[in-house]
Structure 1
Amino acid sequence: MNIKQYLDSTYLKTASQAGLSETENNIVVRNAIAEAISYGFKLIMIRPDKVALAKEMITKANSSLLIGTVIDFPKGTSAIEIKIKEANEAIADGADDLDFVCNYQAFKNGDVQLIKQEVLIATQIGLANNKTVKWIIEVAALNEKEIIQLSSLIKNVVISNFKEEDYTSVFVKSSTGFYKTQNNLPNGATIPTTIMMLENASPLPIKAAGGVKTYEEAIEMIRLGVKRIGTSSAKAIAKGENTTNKY
């Protein structure tokens, strides 16, 4: 198994979130991209304003590294028009994967029609441009019933509106890694939430993001059936080392 091809190496902090200047944070982003190229990871996951930089570096290195970015991050509460605008800009800059934050708050409030609309329209845009689309459902904000229902809803929208050959390009993803939980509870993928997603989103693939920090944890997720792992610990996982990174 080439575990590196499951890893979406992730750096999504803004300068202020990282406690750095813009210049310092840009250096961190450049280093993350260079590391992902060097280690042969599947993808580098970065903020939308860094996509063009990644494209430039990857092209210069003649690398096959994919570029992923987040849309309507981290809360997902923007109107579909905003999501579309951000997605089109990311596509123009060279993104390969578009990780949309689902409006999980609207879902919790019972607005199922809004979720169906944004999943349909945004997925259409991604697939029409030959991009991989991922829907972040933010498992830490949902109870078990809601995780099951939202995973199923996304699956049903995709199955009802797209061809079978498209299914592998539309993921359900666990987490942003930025959700604030109470009592220090996990804010990312766990074994129970991942199993629920796998059971209810199939045949759509699953991306486990947040909380996977060791080689053993990554292997366990892969054995469960996840196809991608989002982590800021990709280097440590690939080398079998421990890490203190939280995402």
Structure 2
Amino acid sequence: MNIRQYLDSTYLKRAIQAGITEKENIKIVQGFVREAIDEQFKLVMVRPEMVAMAKKMITDAKSQVDIGTVIDFPEGRSTVEIKLDEAFKAIQDGADDLDFVCNYEAFRNGQVDLVKEEILKCTLLGLKHHKVVKWIIEVAALNNQQIIQLSALIKNVVMTNFKEENYATVFVKSSTGFYKTENNLPNGATVPAIIMMLENASPLPIKAAGGVRTYEEAVEMIQLGVKRIGTSGAKAIADGAVSNSDY
């Protein structure tokens, strides 16, 4: 199976997180963009401040690779207004996909109306500009019941407020890949979590992100029904090797 069109090749570290200079970090991002073009991955996922640069590289190469970025990353605690401003700037810079971090902490605290509001308003902004919207729910921060409830909540907001033709472009996504877990527990996509998301977010598509490190794991996710896979080791996975990336 050629899985390249399922892969969102991802690099989201700030220079300080990678322990390198800004200039060195930009070179890494440029390498990811060039690799995505050469390998014909579905998408390259970069931080918002890197979108304009990635857009120019892809346009200059006459490539069909899409550009994705993350909004309110990685904690998702900002106000709806801040999320909307960040997303609008990314749209202006040329982003095709907007991966919003859902305010999962507010959800855990019972602030359901706040979460519904951000899902509605941010999804509306993305769809109005013909963008793909993804909602990261951070499964490692949730228990099973919360994974089920938040997946269903996103589905219900979308189905209540948008047309059926839009469903395919609003994803529920498992993880940021940056959540700190205790005792080295998985912080990304696991098969049980993905199954719960598939069962409760349908007909919205699912993106598995974080923790997919081999071709076999990627194929397993695709066979379960996942439509996208986010990984910082896309080339290794596509080539059948084991990715040693950490998200």
For the superposition of Structure 1 and Structure 2, which TM-score range results when normalised by the shorter chain?
over 0.9
Alignment match, 1:134: 134
Alignment match, 2:109: 109
Residue 226 in 1 paired to residue 226 in 2?
Answer: yes
RMSD: 0.5
Q: How many residues are aligned here?
A: 247
CA–CA separation in structure 2 for the residues paired with 1:218 and 1:128: 32
TM-score (norm 1): 0.99
CA–CA separation in structure 1 for the residues paired with 2:67 and 2:57: 11
Q: Which amino acid aligns with 2:161?
A: N
Matches within 5 A, 1:63-78: 63-78=63-78
For structure 1, which runs of at least 5 residues remain unmatched after alignment? none
Aligned-residue offset at 1:69: 0.1
Q: Which amino acid aligns with 1:107?
A: F
TM-score (norm 2): 0.99
SS at match of 1:148: helix
Alignment match, 1:26: 26
Aligned-residue offset at 1:194: 0.3
Q: Which amino acid aligns with 2:219?
A: I
Alignment match, 1:240: 240
1:108-142 superposed Cα distances (whole Å, 9 cap, x missing partner): 00000001100000000000000000000000000
SS at match of 2:134: strand
Aligned-residue offset at 1:243: 2.2
Contact 2:2 2:238 in 1 (8 A): no
Aligned-residue offset at 1:233: 0.9
CA–CA separation in structure 2 for the residues paired with 1:224 and 1:246: 23
Alignment match, 2:16: 16
Percent identity over paired residues: 69
For structure 2, which runs of at least 5 residues remain unmatched after alignment? none
CA–CA separation in structure 2 for the residues paired with 1:174 and 1:236: 21
Aligned-residue offset at 1:82: 0.1
Residue 122 in 1 paired to residue 122 in 2?
Answer: yes
CA–CA separation in structure 1 for the residues paired with 2:181 and 2:91: 32
Alignment match, 1:183: 183
SS at match of 1:8: strand
